[in-house]
Amino acid sequence: MSKDQLILSIQWVVDREVVVCKLFNRVSRRAGIRMFFVSVSELGDGGAWYVLILFLPLIYGQNGFSTSFFMVKVGLVNLLLYKVIKQLTSRPRPCAVNLSIDMGTTPLDQYSFPSGHTMHAVAFSMVATAHHPDLAWVLVPFSTLIAMSRIVLGLHYPTDVIAGGLIGGCVASIMMPA
């Protein structure tokens, strides 16, 4: 594939992503839906994960403590990767590029790639459910809503969310004890 073909392919994907972003973002114009996704996004900022990390030892004892400790380690690796990748790519957010996409809430930083919320949601959910499968019924839908919220609120493109999920999942898998 030539450089020109690669550029055209990337532009084709970006053009489709903007369409998806507009479609998802349109539902956030309803106040109740926007408030719901803003709340989900805010919980995904860390609050829900910090509560889970603190409560796992209380619920599961030593096994919960081990899980919490592992979640902290995975979270730190994800945070480092997130910061490095954001600086290297410097991809502007959809709401900054396309004026028809409303910013549903204030972003944590100016760049969109990858979705840090999704990275952490996937990684933390994988770790927690690997050790405590009974949490899957809450964590899997919650992580899915966090990922959706990032597109609905106009803060991320679908590929940002997909990449965030893949990175978070890979980090959790690689670091997972055998």
pLDDT band at 2 (very low <50, low <70, confident <90, very high): confident
63-70: average pLDDT: 95
Architecture (CATH level 2) of domain 3-175:
Up-down Bundle (1.20)
φ/ψ of 61, rounded to 5, equals: 65, -140
What pLDDT does residue 178 have?
Answer: 63
Q: What is the pLDDT of residues 10-65, one digit of tens each?
A: 777 777 888 889 999 998 889 899 999 999 999 999 899 999 999 999 999 999 99
Give me the residues paired with residue 48 across strands. Answer: none
Give me the residues paired with residue 92 across strands. Answer: 111
Q: What is the pLDDT of residues 127-158, one digit of tens each?
A: 999 999 999 999 999 999 999 999 999 999 99
| pTM summary value | 0.90
Cα separation, 60 vs 75, in Å, equals: 20
